[in-house]
Amino acid sequence: MSKERFLLWMLASIFTYQAGIFAFGIFKCSSLTPASSIQEVCPKLGDRYDSTFNVAIATVLALLTGSALKE
C-alpha cells in the first residue's frame, strides 16, 4: 500500500470515528433529560468535538500534502 493511499484511509477513518463519537455524544446528552434540549444539557459538545479532531485531521492532511510535494 502506498503512503498516499494509507494516509487517505487514515483520514477516512478519522472522519468515520469522529462521526461516531459525535452521534454517541448527542445520543447520551439527549437521553440525560428528555424534556430539555441538547443545547441546555450539553452546551459545549460542539466545542469539544471541534477541538478533539482538529489536530488529527491537520496532521494527516499535512503528511498527505508533504508526500505529494516530494513527487
The phi and psi torsions of 36 (rounded to 5 degrees) equal -90, 160
pLDDT tens digit sequence for 4-22: 788 888 888 888 888 898 8
Q: What is the per-residue pLDDT across 41-70, written as a single tens digit (0 to 9) for each?
A: 676 777 777 777 788 788 888 887 876 666
Q: Is pLDDT of 35 > 60?
A: no
Q: Which three cell numbers stand for residue 66?
A: 508533504
Helix (H) or strand (E) segment spanning residue 52: helix 45-70
> How far is it, in rounded angstroms, from Cα 17 to Cα 33?
26
Q: Are 26 and 45 in contact (CB under 8 A)?
A: yes
